[in-house]
Amino acid sequence: MQRRSIPMALAAVGLPLLLVATACGQPDPAGEPEATASSAPDLTQFHDQQLTFEPCAPYATTAADEALFANDRFDCARMQVPLDYDDPDGPRAEIALLRMKAKGERIGSLVVNPGGPGGSGMSHTATMAPTWDPMAIGERFDIVGFDPRGVGATTPRVDCFTNAEDDRGEGFNGTLLPEDVPDAQAAEEIAQRCADSAGGEQALVNIGTRDTVQDLDVLRAALGDEQLSFLGYSYGTELGAVYAESFPDNVRAMLLDGAVDPELSDAEFTVSQAVGIQGAFDAMAAQCASTPDCPLGTDPARAVEAYHALLRPLQDNPLPTTDGRGLTYESAATGVFSGLYSEKLFPVVLRGLTEAADGRGDLLLALHDQYAQRGSDGRHGSLIEAFRSIRCMDWERRTPADQADLLRQVREASPIMDDGNPVSESYHECAAWPEPPSRTGPFITGDVDVPPILVTSVTDDPATPHQGGINMARILDGTLLTVDGAQHGAALLGQSPCVDQIATDYLIDLTLPPAEARCDL
């Protein structure tokens, strides 16, 4: 599938200590909320299964995971779940999970989702282990990361395009913007390729958030926990919130960090992200302008112009790179946007832009590859294809006219996302999916009483704007911890003792901070 993508705010994890993940439900006044526990099928055989833990090395699906999983501190297992929860006796899926066992007096399991959708909980937990192991949560909890349906070591796994196709820019664009799908035949080809990679149409249409929420409750039971303790970042806040309203009696503690806004449609949320990314770029340009060698110039008002002058020529003439692949426009833009998720990465982005001005593309390509989960061996992770496929079952499908209108809104909200090419109509990437989305309406309603939940939200988060945290806490009647800073994600990253102490007190002792509590990064 040849296409020209328009990169924007990235939709997944991948950067060290940053939770690069976004998502949103599709509000619809006529829609229905997620299914509740009262309508769940009899899953006793799955709840009562005995997990067999073993070394994690065979579970690695990327070069990075091969290195991470070769650690005796972890053990791994596969959990059986119905492929289709409406048919518990039918085909099964296998959910892969990684555990770091508690070093001290164990409370239970703390299940982690890093976001996406499409982020690997196994990889994220292994990556964060050096930070979490010395913390109190490493003493008191078995920390468990799992790969949701479509992702990593779990089956079904979605892998619609080959590594070579991804390298050539022929796969999904890894953004929240519309794919350039020219016609119905191309849309059918996408759906068929994704179905074939997952093991058939039935597998492809059963990997939405609704299914993962059910998997999460089976995981709780299979781990031997009467109630779930959960840590969710970005999209993980959506997953956790839906679980809380679906299984309120099964929640012990739920920490939602970098909360998505349950009051926005996916299109509205995309535009809000564009605003956030542009704000981060403007802040970076202002910092850079005070230095004489700033690649964006000394006038912040002309930084967007300087940025386009640097990168737009790459659409026709990619920059050379050491590995011979070259730096294309969209790879460069993706690398830049990934670095805008935290002001701590601004210097790296600026070095990459300086290098590009000097005619080399290695650093920006490295930032792109880190986001795209591309290893030095050429293997790509499953994040981007899983994200698209999961959202095909979560989100309403736009018409070609709506696709074009969204792109215009994003360009207006964030001028750096304008590649200079005319806006044209295109098919939705999910247009030929075998079934319609498995949910309509907002992902939570606020109509269900849930246990006390802690929501943490960074004031200048470019990926999940602060208002989303405010709205999430209000709708769930939870407690909001506001964190002053400029990055995506804050809790238990080892960056703020204030945030980490409040998060620890809540997860271990169920002690919530006072109203209006604030920390900084």
Annotated catalytic residues are 234, 461, 488
DSSP 96-151: EEEEE--SSS--EEEEEE--TTT--HHHHHHHHHHHHTTSHHHHHEEEEEE--TBS
Structure-block tokens of residue 145: 């990361």
Nearest to 17 by CA among 315, 498, 339: 339
The CA–CA distances, whole Å, from 234 to 17, 22, 266, 331, 425 equal 13, 6, 14, 23, 30
The phi, psi pair for 426, rounded to 5°, reads: -150, 160
Asked if residue 14 lies in contact with residue 254, where contact means CB atoms within 8 angstroms, the answer is: no
Whole-Å CA distances, 279 to 283, 337, 354, 407, 462: 6, 12, 21, 18, 7
Report how far apart, in Å, the C-alpha atoms of 278 and of each of 36, 274, 411 are.
Answer: 39, 6, 10
Residue 68 in 3-state DSSP? helix
Largest CA distance in the chain: 67
Q: Are 72 and 284 in contact (CB under 8 A)?
A: no
Q: Output the CA torsion 184→188→189→192 (10° steps).
A: 180
Q: How far apart are CA 370 and CA 14, in angstroms?
A: 6
- Can you tell me the distance from the alpha carbon of 9 to that of 274, in angstroms, rounded to the nearest whole number? 7
* Pair of tokens at residue 404: 């074009």
DSSP for residue 39? G
**Which H/E stretch holds residue 38?**
none
CA distances in angstroms from 439 to 246, 283, 298, 396, 442, listed in the order given: 13, 38, 49, 9, 9
